[in-house]
Amino acid sequence: MSRKHAVSLGLIALFLLGSNAVFAHHGTANYDTTKSVTVKGAVTNFQFINPHVIISLDVKDEKGKVQNWQGGLTSPNHLMRTGWTKDTLKTGDVITLSGFPAKSGAPEMWIQKVVLASGEALDTSGGN
């Protein structure tokens, strides 16, 4: 085997082994997956965009103070496989979100469940 071929094979192997690191930011490292939080409120923003769908909602605490929560889901491509569209949620829709809370304590989560006011649970699996 020539030196040129050996170097090429080495670079290909390095590329293949390192390619998982490129996707690492799509994990749940920012969230405490040992805990779950549930919030209910009115949708303030629904971003059906890559790389992750984002839902924001205003949630009232027990004292009536409003806090804006944000939750992330998988990509629009994955959610479309289960019936989601850019019109699935609209500003003002009252929904319940459940998911893994941010480790930082910020009002955000990695969404595991979305329930509409009607009681219908939307599929968040992304067709996996």
- Each domain of the chain, given as residue ranges in start order, spans 27-122
Rounded Cα gap, residues 57 and 36, in angstroms = 17
Q: How far apart are CA 75 and CA 80, in angstroms?
A: 9
Give 56-87 pLDDT, tens digit per residue.
999 998 899 999 999 999 999 999 999 999 99
Identify which has the larger pLDDT, 24 or 40: 40
* pLDDT, mean of residues 46-55: 96
Confidence of residue 26 (pLDDT cuts 50, 70, 90): low
Summary mean pLDDT of the chain: 86
Pairing of strands 37-47, 66-72: unpaired
| pTM exceeds 0.75 for this model | yes
pLDDT at 61: 87
- Longest CA–CA span in the chain (Å) reads 73
Q: Which residue has the higher pLDDT, 28 or 116?
A: 116
Q: Quick one: residue 116, left, alpha or beta (phi over 0 = left, psi -120 to 50 = alpha)? A: beta
5's CB contacts (< 8 A; 6+ apart) are none
Provide mean pLDDT across the span 19-47: 80
Least confident of 2-11, 13-22, 84-93: 13-22
Domain 27-122 has CATH 2.40.50.140: yes
Q: CA-based angle 39:118:98, to the nearest 5?
A: 25
Residue 86 identity: K
Residue pair 43/59 in contact (Cβ under 8 Å)? The answer is: no
